[in-house]
Amino acid sequence: MGGPVAQRYADWIATHSKLVVLAVLLVTSVVAAGATLGDAGSSDVGQFEIDSEETRAGEFVRDNYGGDDGIVAQIVVRNESGDVLTQESLLEGLYLQRSVRDDETLNATLAEPGTVGIENVVATAAVHASSGETRQPDGVPSLDRQIEALENLDRRGFEQLLERVLDPDAELPGEQDPYAFLPRSYDPGETSAEARLTLLFQADDSGSNADPPAYDAQVEIDKLVEQRFDDAFVFGQGIQDDASSRATGDSFAIITPFALALIVFVLGITYRDVLDILLAFVGIGIVMAWLAGIMGWLAIPMNVILIAVPFLLIGLSIDYALHVVMRYREARQGTLERGDGGEHLSIRAAMALGFGGVVLALAAATVSTGVGFLSNVVSPLPAIQDFAVLSAGGIFATFVAFGVFLPALKIEVDSVVENRLGRSRAKPAFGVESGLANAVLERLASLATRAPVAIVAVALVLAVAGGYSATTIDTEFNEADFLPQDAPDWAEYLPGPLEPGTYTIADDFEYLSDNFQLRGDDGQSQVLIRGDVTDGSVLSAIDNASHAVESDSSIQLAPGGQAAIDGPHTVLRDAVDSGDNPGFAARVAANDTDGDGLPEENVTAIYAELFEIDSEAASNVLSRNEDGTITSARLLLSVRSSESAQTIAGDTRAFATQVERDAADNGDGTTEITAVATGGTVTTAVIQDALLETLIEAFAVTLVVILGFLTALFRVRYGSWSLGPVALVPVVVALAWLLGAMSVLGVSFNSETAVITSLAIGLGVDYSIHASERFMDERERAESLASALNRTITGTGGALLASAATTAAAFGVLAFALSPPLQRFGIVTGLAIVFAFVAVVTMLPGLLVVRERLLNGRFTEV
C-alpha cells in the first residue's frame, strides 16, 4: 500500500531498530529539556485587542476614570424562613469582624474600610444615639465601640433604633446606605429581612504573576463564617479558585482510576498482551515529553484552550499505536498479503511489511491534521496561535513516537522475549480473527456493499438534522457554567480517600447574583456617555431609562423597584439629600423645571459645584479636562452575574440606546450624545463572540487545507481527484452530528467547546485516511468489491474500533467530573470520537461503493 518510498522507509527502520531507539531517546531528551527552562506562566484567552466601540469605550474609561485595584468579597448571611436583622444576628456579624481583625494574618490582607455591612450601619447609629462625641477621626466608631453600643441596647431600644435606621426618609450618621446591604426582595421600611450582605475589602499586593494573600484569607474567613452562622457563605475570587481547584482534584481522584481501568481493560481486550500495552504507554510518554518541551522552548503560556491538546495527542497516540501493532500482527500471521493465514514471518520482516503498509497513512494523517491545526496560526488571537503551534508540534511528536520509535522498540522487545526467553510474540490482530468484533464488522461491510445509497442517505439526513439543530445551539458564555457542582448522591458511597467534598458555590453565586448588587467588574456593566453631556435632557434620559428597566432584565433592581444604577443623577441627589449643602440643594431646585430632583438648566455650573462639594464621588461618574470642561459621563449598572455575558451585554446596550434616544427626543433638537455599553462583562462578551467567530473561521480554513492535501495526496497516489473529497465527507458529517447532539444535550457552542470540537476534525481525518488507504490497497488485490470492503473494515476497522472504544471510554468518564468544564470536555470528546468512528465505518464504505459504481459501473481500476 505504501509504495516503494514507504516500504524503503519501513525496511530501514526494521534494519536499524537499535539506532532508531537510541536516536529518538536522545532527541527526546533534548526537546524535553525545554520544560526546565522555566514556567511561561498562564494567559487569559481574552488577552488581545478587539477593535470595537465597546473596547474603545473601555479604554477611555480606564484612562479617564481609573479603576479600583482592590479586592472585594461578599459575606451573605441568610435565614429564608426567619430574620437576619435581629440584635443577636447583627452582633454575631460584628463578632465575626472582630475575629478577622484579631487574626494578624487575616487582618494584614484588609484594606480600608475593612468590613462593612448593615450591622455596622446599625451599630454606628447606636453609638451616635448614645454619644455623638466618641468618634475616630474619619467619623466611624471603632469596632469595639460599635459592639459595646449594640450590646447595651435593650430589646425595645434595638427595635426603635432599627426602625429609625431603615426608615427611607432617615438621615443617618456616616456614608453607608443600609439598603445597599439588603436583598432586592426587601421592602423599604421593613425591620426584617431574609438575608443581608457584608462587604469585605482587601488589598491586592500580589504583583502580576501570583495570587494575592487575600485569596487564601477568604478561604479562612469562610471557615469562621461557618462557625458563627447556620446558613452563610463567603463569595470571592479566592473562594472560586479554591472550590475549582478542589473540585478538579476530587474529579481526577475519582475519575483517574476508572479511566485508567477502562483504558487498560479495552486495550487488554484489544491487545491481549501486557507488553504491547506498556509499549503504547511508553510512546505516549514520549509524546508528552515532547509536548512539555515544546511549550518550554517556545515559551508558550498555559491557557484554558490548551487543555484540549494533550487529549488530542493521547487519542492520536492510541490510534497510531493500534494501527502499527495490528498491521504488524497481520503480517506475522501471514494474512496481510493473502488473507489465508500463510507462513508466519520473522519479527523484522513482519514489521517491515506491516509498518510499510501503514506508515504512509500515518504520515498523511500527521500532515493533514498537523497542517490543519497549524492553519489556525493566522488567527489574530494569541491564545489560538499558541493552540495552533502546540497542536501541530504535538501531532508531529506523535508521529515520531509511533511512526519512528514504536516500530523499532517493538522489534527489540519482541526479539528479546522471543529469541532469548523463548516466548512467541506472534499474536492475532483484533477484528481480523473470528469473534464478536469480527462478526459485527463483517456485517457492516456486507451492509455497505448491499445498500450503500441507503447508508449514505441516512447519514446525510442525520447530518442535515444535526446542522439544523446547530442553528439553535446556545453560543453564550456564562461564568456560572464554570463553577463546581456538588457531587451526585452515589459519590457518598465512595471510600474515604475518594469521597469528594461538598460544593455549594454554584448555588451561592446564583443566590448572590439574584438578590444583591455585586461589586467589581463581575457585578457591574457600564455605559459611557460622550457629547453634549451637560445638556439638561441627558440627566432626565438617564433617570427615565433607570425607571423603565423591567424586572426580568439582567440589570439589577434596588429595593424599591428602580434599577440599581449609579451615575451623575444619583451623585447629585445624594449631595442634595445629605443636608450638608443647603445652598447647593437650593440651586439644584431652582434649575429643576420638571420637579424630578435633577437640574435641566445650568447643568455645567452645577457639575462644577458638585466637584467642589465631593470631588471623589463626582470623579467616579464624570470626567473633565484640565480647564474643567466636562468630557463624559459614566453609568455603573449592577447586573446579575449569573446571566450570560452576552445577555448582560445585550441589556446594557439596550439601556444605552434608550438613554441616547430619549436624550435626543427630549432635548432642544440639538442634543447629540453617544451612549456606549462597556465594562468587564460587556467586553468579555465582545471577546468571546470574536473568539468564537475566529474558531469557526479556523474550522473552515482547516477543512479547506485538509481537503486540498487529501485531494493532492490521493491524486498522486491513485490518480483520483474524487477520493480526497470522499474521504473528507464523513469528517464533516460527524461534525454535524456532534453539533446536533450538543444542541440536544444543552451543551453551549462557545469558545471553550469550539476548541474541543476540533478533536472531531483531528481524529475524524485520521480515521478516514486509514480506512481510505486500506481500501485502495485492498482494492488493487481483491477479487471483488465486497472482498475489498470486508478486508478494509475488519482489518483497519478493527484497529479503529479499539482506538475509538479506548479513547471514548477514557475521556467519556470525565462527564462524571464535579467541574463543569471537565464534564463538557468529557461529553463533547466522547461524542466526537464515537461519531467519527461511526461515520468512517458506515458512511465512508458506502461512499466508496457509490463512487466506484459511478466511475466504473463495475469493480475495475479507474
3-class secondary structure for 321-336? HHHHHHHHHHHHHCCC
Last residue of a domain, one of 241, 263, 293: 241
Residue 1: is its pLDDT beyond 50? no
* 813 within domain boundaries: no
- Residue 838 in grid coordinates: 461511526
Share of the chain above pLDDT 90, in %: 37
Residue 861: is its pLDDT beyond 60? no
Tell me the pLDDT tens digit for each residue of 431-490.
Answer: 666 567 778 888 888 888 889 999 999 999 999 999 999 888 887 777 777 788 777 766
Structure letter (DSSP) for residue 462: H
CA-to-CA distance for 259 and 139, rounded, in angstroms?
61
Tell me the pLDDT tens digit for each residue of 243-254.
Answer: 888 887 888 787
Mean pLDDT across 83-108: 94
Last residue of a domain, one of 225, 241, 257: 241
Confidence of residue 134 (pLDDT cuts 50, 70, 90): very low
Tell me the pLDDT tens digit for each residue of 187-231.
Answer: 888 899 999 999 999 987 765 556 788 899 999 999 999 999 999
Peptide bond into 113 cis (omega under 30): yes
Mean pLDDT across 743-752: 83
Strands (E), 612-766: 622-624, 630-638, 673-678
Are residues 750 and 477 in contact, defined by beta-carbon separation less than 8 angstroms? yes
Mean pLDDT across 662-678: 78
Looking at every residue in the chain, the average pLDDT score rounds to: 85
* 802 within domain boundaries: no
Nearest by Cα to 31 from 401, 291, 293, 283 = 293
Residue 393: is its pLDDT beyond 90? yes
Residue 365: is its pLDDT beyond 60? yes
* 739 within domain boundaries: no
* 641 within domain boundaries: yes
Least confident of 97-101, 524-528, 770-774, 782-786: 782-786
* 30 within domain boundaries: no
Last residue of a domain, one of 629, 652, 671: 671
| CA distances to 206, 207, 221, 322, 332 from 326, in Å | 54, 54, 58, 6, 10
Question: Tell me, what's the pLDDT at 310?
Answer: 85
Question: Tell me, what's the pLDDT at 229?
Answer: 93
Residues in contact with 147: Cβ distance below 8 Å, sequence separation at least 6, in sequence order: 91, 94, 95, 98, 123
**Number of other CB atoms surrounding residue 416 within 10 Å:** 12
Least confident of 338-347, 670-679, 715-724: 338-347
* 96 within domain boundaries: yes
Burial letters 319-336, b for 16+ CB under 10 A, else e: bbbbbbbbbbbbbbbbbb
Residue 759: is its pLDDT beyond 80? no
Residue 645: is its pLDDT beyond 70? yes
* 855 within domain boundaries: no
Are residues 344 and 334 in contact, defined by beta-carbon separation less than 8 angstroms? yes
Share of the chain above pLDDT 70, in %: 89
The CA angle 72-78-84, to the nearest 5 degrees, is 105
Question: Tell me, what's the pLDDT at 285?
Answer: 95
Tell me the pLDDT tens digit for each residue of 276-330.
Answer: 999 999 999 999 999 999 999 998 887 666 777 887 788 889 889 998 999 899 8
Amino acid residing at 252: F
Tell me the pLDDT tens digit for each residue of 233-242.
Answer: 999 889 988 8
Question: Tell me, what's the pLDDT at 172?
Answer: 60
Least confident of 82-96, 143-157, 684-698: 684-698
H/E stretch holding 111 reads: strand 110-117
Mean pLDDT across 615-644: 89
* Number of structural domains in the chain: 2
Segments forming the whole domain that contains residue 581: 533-671
Structure letter (DSSP) for residue 431: T
Question: Tell me, what's the pLDDT at 135?
Answer: 45
Question: Tell me, what's the pLDDT at 337?
Answer: 59
* 279 within domain boundaries: no
| CA distances to 464, 551, 555, 737 from 467, in Å | 5, 35, 34, 7
Nearest by Cα to 384 from 825, 694, 693, 690 = 694
